[in-house]
Structure 1
Amino acid sequence: MRRILTELIFVAGLAATVWLAMHLGLRPVGQALSVIGVGGVLLVALAHLPTLAVLGLAWGMLAREADASPSVKFVWGRLMRDAGGEMLPLSQVGGLAIGARAVNLAGVPGMEATVTSLLDLFVEQVAKTPYSIAAVALLVWLVPASPLVGPAVGVLALTVAGLGVVMLRRAWMRARLVKMAANFDRRCTAEEAGAAEAAMAEALLPRGRLGLSLVLHVGAWGLGAVETWIALRLLGVDASLAQAVVIDGLFVTVRMFAFAIPAAVGVQEGAYVVLCGLFGVGAPTALAFSLVRRARDLVIGAPAVLAWQVLERRRRSTHAGRRA
């Protein structure tokens, strides 16, 4: 039932995107895309690779083997997490599962992959708060008369309050993550809940690495603003870096509340039209910007998904050969 609901939400979002494109006019959107061209899309994809690397390093900081520098495994896992969440009709949880599976195939124990993946997601959500604060502050400074100022400040206040509650209930949050990891990993490997608790304890023991993971996540969000600035400039928009922070930072906040929608399809397109419009960017160009971001995910994610399928097939063939 849940899978059917997810698929229906995805189809509805896709239909909303098609309607928006038809409403704005396919020709204006196509003209905006022609400005950036294939070469521009490839450049945007290349600009995203440092962000993926930093996000992978942030995840690797939480692993037991961090001192042995297994960073490439977690960069690969992060790539697969994003590819699963952005390319496939899956929710964020589905992408999380694929990322943990990829890290497990790379040699990280299953429970450790699952626990650190969930903990990394939590740290990433915490890191969004200072980025959202910066985005709202710049919004108030750049366009104080915008009707979005009030809602943005209100949502930010709720986000900060929610983070405060979580920090006050750290023990509850830890127990919740352990329970999620045990339930999730039991479906894959049948390990007991005690293994999840042990893996969480090992991930949280070196507190310096947890702090470093948080710093890396904040830096990754900053790189996201640079990516937005590059894409807008390639589309012919004379945007400043401060405007890019507002657009990307507010979208990150919107995306956080749309986590159940696969790839935020429909939500992303509508949000970018509104946010880019704050700085005079036409709706067709804003929609083209969203499509460029989709194309970037396809360029990076498609080869990753294919490589993952090859690894899975090799693993199944190896196991079948051993049983024979």
Structure 2
Amino acid sequence: MASSVAPRLQVVLSVVPDVPLVLGVPTALRAAHALVDVPVDRFIFVTGSIAALTGRWNAQLRALPWTAVSSPAAVGSALAPTSAVLVLDPEGMPEAGELRAFLGECRRRAAPTAWLWSGRTVAVYYPAGRSARRSVLGRSSQGVSGSPRPVDADFHGERLVADVRAWYDLRDPKDVERAEHDLVRSLRKDTDGYLARLDRGISIPVSLALTRTAITPNAVTASSLLVGLLGAGVLAVPAYGAAIAGALLLWCSCILDGCDGEVARLQLLSTPWGARFDAVTDNVVHVAVFLALPVHLHLSHAHAAVIPAGLVLIAGVLLSMASVWWLILRQPSPRRGPGALLYERIASRDFIYVLLALAVVHRLEWFLWAAAGGSHVFWLTLWALALILGQEAVAHVLNALGWKWASDPRQAAAVPLRRLVALRVAGDAINYLTPSGTLAGEVGRTAMLKASHATGTEATSVIVAKIAQTLGQALFVAVGVLVCARTLRVGLPMWTVIAGVLTAALLGVLAIVAARRGFAAWRLSPLRRSFAGFVRAHRGRFAAATLLFAAAYAWGAVEAYLICRSLGLRVSASTIISIETLSAAVDGVLFMIPAKIGIQEGSKTAIFAALGLAPSAGFAFGLLRHLRELAWAAGGLVVCAIAWRPAPVGNIPEIANTGAMS
């Protein structure tokens, strides 16, 4: 039922008896579940029979904060007087993504807003306030929660026009068919294995048939478990036909493993317990298969080496399962990133296809030996990449702390550290992917900070942090050069060339700044005065920020050590510092090249050669670091998409406003 906390948003939905069900579920429930990831605190269902709603659809309602009223006139008594209200047309169904975009735009505008589709109103939003409750009460008697009606002169608010595919008119059989087709198409998941995607062609028709029965998703999961265990048992029998039959049963288990989630999503029955049950049954079947395989080979060939290989395989499988759960599955989906998606696909049941093919050609021992080694490679590389990717979080925290200390104390107190970390990641992604000379990211950070925590000092803090970061980089390179002088195997002529290149790069940057802005413009610019004023007033904070940024650059040596160890290189601490110092120097010179295309691999090859290490190891080092940068850049773009949501003007164009807000 509804929460005791005053709702931030209430959604009014009507259950109309003569509106067709979409894949067996009322459209009101589908619309409610489309907003399950939006902070909606109360769904108000208008229905002629509350008992029928709760009796037939109790399982679907269980995941929602809801209440029900028996008539449109009773809606007012269920509304909280100081919360926003969204009313949806009961004779249609919104497309989930378009509905969330409309709601986001309404909250941004903070004004009464009607959503128009094909010339009629399909949704109306009222912002928080008593006027929202009065507006809904005034319109409920005219059918807002019962039937669609055009927005005319009595509606004082804004209008947004929906895209033609943003709404399904369920009075039209073609739109009912389109809604069901789109729902079925959405069943395919990004985490599907590369070969297991073929299963969807079979599992989806089976799931559609199951939705017309009383079979629950958990019952399908249990059936998948039983068929999988039966397949593993048959696979253990030492006979050619049994191996093929067992592999076919395991393939059927894979099909059913896809059906349980599909049925749950189609019938709105997804639950955390069901997801955990599905994951546990998957792992049980995997362990059973990898136990049955060496038993089959041992009984068939009586080869002494099969049992040790089987034990190695089981150990690798268990370690892989534990690693995937700890590093990927226990994390919320938005935090997993593209690397986790790749590992989820590899860890899927694609191996069943390989197992079936090798059973047909009577070469299951090939699978045993490949899986025994591959399972350990899988979990070792997973942890190695997790360490390489995860350690960068420390650098981002240090950079965020540097930004915090480069901010006015009032802003530093107002903005949480986690927000600064997110904006650092987002800004770095913009800088990394655009040829802007690391300036576009600073503009983006300023805009995103102003959007969430406007204090009037956003631009100053970004400029001060950028200058402090540059000084921190110079400080780290200066200290590192002292180490390089003892480690780098080059003579004075080469040092002269290096110094000349760095000097020329610095002069080039200064020339560009002078040409584009003019030294006089910089001397008189408001940002220059803001920076000078901050340094005069907060010398200690500026010094602390510079040291924190230098520490962030120094932390890169930890990553360099981890990468070297993952490549099997045993190098001294001075060599590690030399690698990182020279890398920072090269990055500072070639900062204009987007995504460091060719820079990481080429520069690391040259650096490793200069340090007397294998150039091939330097190339591999640069490739791993490049992958880490791309992974974090992808995460930064996700942060940008969340923190910087532009109005979806292409899908919901605004039309003329005819009146003042009510």
Shift in CA distance, 89/157, structure 1 to aligned 2, threshold 3 Å: closer
Q: How does 1:238-277 map to 2 (within 5 A)?
A: 238-277=570-609
What's the counterpart of residue 637 of structure 2? 305
What's the counterpart of residue 63 of structure 1? 407
Q: 1:126 aligns with which of 443, 462, 471?
A: 471
- Cα distance, 1:55 vs structure 2: 0.5
Q: Is 1:75–2:421 an aligned residue pair?
A: yes
8 Å contact kept, 2:414–2:453: no
Shift in CA distance, 271/175, structure 1 to aligned 2, threshold 3 Å: same
Larger mean Cα displacement after TM superposition, 267-276 or 85-94: 85-94
Task: Give the structure with the higher percent strand.
Answer: 2
**Other structure's SS at 1:92 match:** coil
Deviation digits for residues 96-129 of structure 1 (CA, Å, limit 9, x no counterpart): 22333332333144x6333322222222111222
- Cα distance, 1:212 vs structure 2: 0.7
Q: Using the alignment, how far apart are the partners of 2:379 and 2:496 within structure 1?
A: 34
Code of the residue aligned with 2:452 in structure 1: it is A
Q: Using the alignment, how far apart are the partners of 2:592 and 2:444 within structure 1?
A: 16
Code of the residue aligned with 1:99 in structure 2: it is R
Q: How does 1:34-45 map to 2 (within 5 A)?
A: 37-45=381-389
8 Å contact kept, 1:41–1:295: no
What's the counterpart of residue 462 of structure 2? 117
Q: Using the alignment, how far apart are the partners of 2:607 and 2:485 within structure 1?
A: 13
Code of the residue aligned with 1:142 in structure 2: it is T
Q: How does 1:125-144 map to 2 (within 5 A)?
A: 125-144=470-489
8 Å contact kept, 1:123–1:213: yes
Code of the residue aligned with 2:567 in structure 1: it is L
Deviation digits for residues 160-212 of structure 1 (CA, Å, limit 9, x no counterpart): 999xxxxxxxxx98962874xxxxxxxxxxxxx5xx56754663322211111
Shift in CA distance, 272/231, structure 1 to aligned 2, threshold 3 Å: same
Shift in CA distance, 312/127, structure 1 to aligned 2, threshold 3 Å: closer
- Cα distance, 1:248 vs structure 2: 1.2
- Cα distance, 1:231 vs structure 2: 1.4
- Cα distance, 1:80 vs structure 2: 1.1
Deviation digits for residues 260-284 of structure 1 (CA, Å, limit 9, x no counterpart): 2213322332111111123333223
What is the percent sequence identity of the aligned residues?
19
**Other structure's SS at 2:645 match:** helix
Shift in CA distance, 315/129, structure 1 to aligned 2, threshold 3 Å: same
What's the counterpart of residue 86 of structure 1? 432
Code of the residue aligned with 1:45 in structure 2: it is L
Q: Using the alignment, how far apart are the partners of 2:500 and 2:437 within structure 1?
A: 26
8 Å contact kept, 2:489–2:612: no
Q: Using the alignment, how far apart are the partners of 1:154 and 1:251 within structure 2?
A: 17
Q: Using the alignment, how far apart are the partners of 1:174 and 1:47 within structure 2?
A: 43
Q: Using the alignment, how far apart are the partners of 2:539 and 2:521 within structure 1?
A: 18
Code of the residue aligned with 2:605 in structure 1: it is V
What's the counterpart of residue 50 of structure 1? 394
**Other structure's SS at 2:569 match:** coil
TM-score normalized by the length of structure 1: 0.69
What's the counterpart of residue 544 of structure 2? 212
What's the counterpart of residue 233 of structure 1? 565
Q: Using the alignment, how far apart are the partners of 2:615 and 2:594 within structure 1?
A: 23
| Runs (4+) off by over 6 Å | 33-36, 156-162, 172-175, 314-317
Q: 1:203 aligns with which of 511, 534, 540?
A: 534
Shift in CA distance, 160/134, structure 1 to aligned 2, threshold 3 Å: farther
**Other structure's SS at 1:295 match:** helix
Q: Using the alignment, how far apart are the partners of 1:298 and 1:177 within structure 2?
A: 37
Q: Is 1:150–2:496 an aligned residue pair?
A: yes
8 Å contact kept, 1:178–1:200: no
How many aligned residue pairs are there?
Answer: 266
8 Å contact kept, 1:112–1:199: no
TM-score normalized by the length of structure 2: 0.36
Higher RCO structure (Cα 8 Å, ≥6 apart)? 1
Q: Is 1:281–2:281 an aligned residue pair?
A: no
Code of the residue aligned with 2:469 in structure 1: it is E
8 Å contact kept, 1:139–1:149: no
- Cα distance, 1:218 vs structure 2: 1.5
8 Å contact kept, 1:225–1:248: yes
8 Å contact kept, 1:229–1:240: no
**Other structure's SS at 1:238 match:** coil
- Long gaps (5+) in structure 1: 1-32, 163-171, 180-192
Structure of greater Rg: 2
Code of the residue aligned with 1:288 in structure 2: it is A
Q: Using the alignment, how far apart are the partners of 1:223 and 1:174 within structure 2?
A: 37
**Other structure's SS at 1:220 match:** helix
Shift in CA distance, 244/66, structure 1 to aligned 2, threshold 3 Å: farther
Q: Using the alignment, how far apart are the partners of 1:153 and 1:277 within structure 2?
A: 19
Q: Using the alignment, how far apart are the partners of 1:142 and 1:197 within structure 2?
A: 40
Q: Is 1:98–2:444 an aligned residue pair?
A: yes
Q: Using the alignment, how far apart are the partners of 1:177 and 1:54 within structure 2?
A: 30
Shift in CA distance, 89/67, structure 1 to aligned 2, threshold 3 Å: closer
8 Å contact kept, 2:489–2:611: no
Q: Using the alignment, how far apart are the partners of 2:462 and 2:450 within structure 1?
A: 11
Q: Using the alignment, how far apart are the partners of 1:289 and 1:212 within structure 2?
A: 32
Shift in CA distance, 114/149, structure 1 to aligned 2, threshold 3 Å: same
Code of the residue aligned with 1:203 in structure 2: it is F
- Long gaps (5+) in structure 2: 1-376, 509-517
Larger mean Cα displacement after TM superposition, 55-64 or 127-136: 127-136
Q: How does 1:145-184 map to 2 (within 5 A)?
A: 145-146=490-491, 148-154=494-500, 176=522, 179=525
- Cα distance, 1:137 vs structure 2: 1.8
Code of the residue aligned with 1:43 in structure 2: it is L
